[in-house]
Amino acid sequence: MTDQTSLGYWIRRFLLEYAASERNLSPNTCASYRDMLVLLLPFVAAAKRTAVDKLLVTDLSADVVRAFLKHLEHDRSCGTATRNQRLASLRALARFVGAHSPQHLEWCAQIRLVPIKKGIAASVSYLEKPEIDALLAAPDPSTSQGTRDHALLLFLYNAGARVSEAVSLRIGDIDWHNKSVRIIGKGNKERRCPLWAETIGRLRHLASDRSADARLFLNRRGEPLTRYGVHTMVERYVARIGASTASPQVKRISPHVIRHTTATHLLQAGVDLNTIRAWLGHVSINTTSIYAETDLATKKRALATLDRGASAQKAGGWSRKPDVMAFLRTL
C-alpha cells in the first residue's frame, strides 16, 4: 500500500499526474517545478537530518519553507522575482496535495499563507536603433554560423519572439507566401506575426530543402538550438561590439532585451498598445503597458502637447471667457 504521508509520493503524482497529464503544462513550466524541487528537497533533508526519500509531507512546514526562501536570497543570491517564482511552484504543489488528501488540508493552508514578497519593479531595458543595428551587423555573413546567427537575431527583433518560441520554431510555421510566422507562445497560445522581406529571405536560406516538421534554427551539430545556446550567442556578439559601442558595455543585453526593443520601437512608431499586445502574445494589455511607462521619447512627445505657454496664448485665459455654461454648450 502506498504511504500517502510520504513527500516523494506526492511529488511524483504532482509532476506526472497533475503537471504533465491533467494540466498539460509546457515543458518549461514542468522544468521550473523540477528545478525548485531539486533545490528544496536536499535543503529540507539537511534541516530534518534525514534522507530525501524518507521525508514526510509534514516535514515541509511553513517555517522550513520560509527558511528555504531566505536561503535562496542570502546564500544563492537569488532576486525577489526568483524567490517568488519558487514559492509559486511550492504553492501549486500544496494545492495539489490538499485537493487529494483531506488529512493535509491544514498543512496546505499553512504553506499557502507564506506571503509573496514585494519587490522593486525594475525598469525595462531596450536598445536604441543604432544599438540594435550594430548587434544585427555583428555576425559574419561569410560563414554558415554567422548566416544563421544573423537570421536568428533578425527574427527575434522582427517578431519580438521569446527565446523558447524561437528555438521551437519549425519550418512549417513560416508562411512564405504571406510573409508571416505562426508562433506558439506561453500556454500554447498561437499568434501570427508579419515578417519583413529581408527576414523571409534569411529564413528561407536556413530552411533550404528540409521538411516542414524540422526545427528551423540548428546548432553546428545539426541539432535544434537550445535557449542556452541563444543566450550564449547574444552574449558573444555583445562582447564583440562592446569596444565600438558604448551602451552595450553598460546595459545587460539578453535575447529578452531584444523582445523589449521590438515592443518599444513599435510604440515609438505609433503602433497602439493593443496591437503590440497581440504582436508579443501578452494575455493582458496591462503587461504591454510597461513599455508606455518606460519609453522616454513617447513621454516627451506627450509633454510637447501640453505646452503651457502656447495653450495660454491660444485660449486667452479664463478671465476673458467668464461664461462657463455658454462655453460648455458649444462642445
Among candidate residues 55, 85, 112, the one where a domain is terminated: 112
Q: Is residue 1 part of a domain?
A: no
Same domain, 79 and 187: no
Q: Catalytic residue among 83, 259, 265, 277, which?
A: 259
pLDDT at 325: 65
Do 153 and 108 share a structural domain? no
- Residue 222 within a domain: yes
136 and 170: one domain? yes
- One domain, residues 187 and 90: no
pLDDT tens-digit map of 195-226? 999 999 999 999 988 999 999 999 999 999 99
Domain shared by 85 and 158, yes or no: no
Q: Which of 186, 191, 227, 240 is catalytic?
A: 186
Same domain, 44 and 160: no
Task: Residue 213: give the domain boundaries.
Answer: 129-302
Mean pLDDT for 64-69 is: 97
Do residues 289 and 140 both lie within one domain?
yes
pLDDT of residue 2: 67
Residue 180 lies in a domain: yes
Chain-wide mean pLDDT for the chain? Answer: 87
Whether 282 is catalytic: yes
Q: How many domains does the chain have?
A: 2
- List the catalytic residue out of 148, 162, 260, 277: 162
- Tell whether 320 is covered by a domain: no
Looking at the fold, whether 36 and 143 belong to one and the same domain comes out as no
Any domain includes 230: yes
Verify that 261 and 179 share a domain, yes or no: yes
C-alpha cell at 122: 525594475
Catalytic residue chosen out of the listed positions 18, 33, 237, 291: 291
Q: Nearest 5°: phi and psi at 192?
A: -125, 140
pLDDT tens for each residue of 49-66: 999 999 999 999 999 999
What per-residue confidence (pLDDT) applies to 24? 85
Please give the share of the chain, as a percent, with pLDDT higher than 70. 85
d(CA 115, CA 118): 9
CB 195 within 8 A of CB 179: yes
Of 59, 85, 112, which residue sits at a domain end?
A: 112
3-state DSSP call for residue 218? strand
256 is a catalytic site residue: yes
Domain shared by 101 and 224, yes or no: no
Write the DSSP assignment of 258-325 as a string of letters.
Answer: HHHHHHHHHHHTT--HHHHHHHHT-SSHHHHTHHHHH-HHHHHHHHHTT-HHHHHHHH--GGG---HH
Q: The CATH number of the domain where 169 resides is what?
A: 1.10.443.10
pLDDT tier at 171, thresholds 50, 70, 90: very high
Condensed to tens digits (0 to 9), the pLDDT of residues 281-322 reads 998 888 888 887 766 666 666 556 555 554 445 545 445 555
The letter for the amino acid at 211 is S
- Give residue 187's pLDDT: 78
> Within this chain, do residues 149 and 289 fall inside the same structural domain, yes or no?
yes
Residues 176 and 85 in one domain: no
The residue from 112, 147, 163 where one domain ends is 112
